[in-house]
Amino acid sequence: MIKEIVFDIETQNSFAEVDNDMKKFKISVVSIYRYETDKFESFTEGELSRLWPILEKADRLIGYNSEHFDLPILMNYYLGDLTKIPHLDMLKVIKESLGIRLKLDDVAKATLDDVAKSADGMQAIRWYKEGKIDEIKKYCEQDVNVTKMVYEFGRDNRQLFYKTLTGDITPFAVNFSMPKNQTAKINLTLPF
């Protein structure tokens, strides 16, 4: 079985609060779904040491806008190089296919029946400031589940859908398959 992990992060602060400096972002919660165990898990900033061994053993990480947001922020905490782990950023594939960036929520609503995100990143930041960590975990896991469902639809059907400016639901091609040259291995990225 391929050890794929779908993931998402929520932060304690916004772009405005960190003056667009990715190094200043702080994680509130990281949520993952592991195909290997068929389970969702969430980790707070103080629990990230439990997350690293899981990610290091992944055959591929799957996220949405993860190449430019999630991974760079995770790298603020990780001693190794998470970019060495095979990675699928679905937004990158969508932009290559369409030439435009789409929100995960818009793709999910157009592609899947009755599936949408339950909140947004700004709400998660407010919850963090209010100490509502369980709310953030619930939201982040729901986000991971939406990402997982969009990934599976795209993987299985080699297409997703979006709503055009005129309101038409339009398909577009995607390829989420694992590159043939990637083989299952343990990703030891920490400098020893």
Tell whether 190 is covered by a domain: no
- Using an 8 Å Cβ cutoff, are 136 and 128 in contact? yes
Each residue's pLDDT tens digit, 65-86: 999 999 999 999 999 999 999 9
Residue 15: which pLDDT band, with cuts at 50, 70 and 90?
confident
d(CA 42, CA 185): 24
Any domain includes 182: no
Domain membership of residue 188 (yes or no) is no
Task: Supply 8's token pair.
Answer: 């998402």
Question: Considering the domain boundaries, does residue 144 fall inside one?
Answer: yes
Those residues with Cβ within 8 angstroms of residue 71's Cβ, 6 or more apart along the chain or in another chain: 61, 63, 82, 83, 87
Angle at 70 between CA 104 and CA 40, to 5 degrees: 75
Q: Report if residue 165 sits inside a domain.
A: yes
**Count of domains observed in the chain:** 1
113 found inside a domain: yes
Specify the pTM. 0.90
9: containing domain: 4-173
Q: What is the pLDDT of residues 98-143, one digit of tens each?
A: 999 999 999 999 999 877 666 677 788 888 899 999 999 999 999 9
Look at residue 192 and tell me whether its pLDDT is greater than 50. no
CATH number at residue 40: 3.30.420.10
Q: Token pair 């309101």 is at which residue?
A: 167
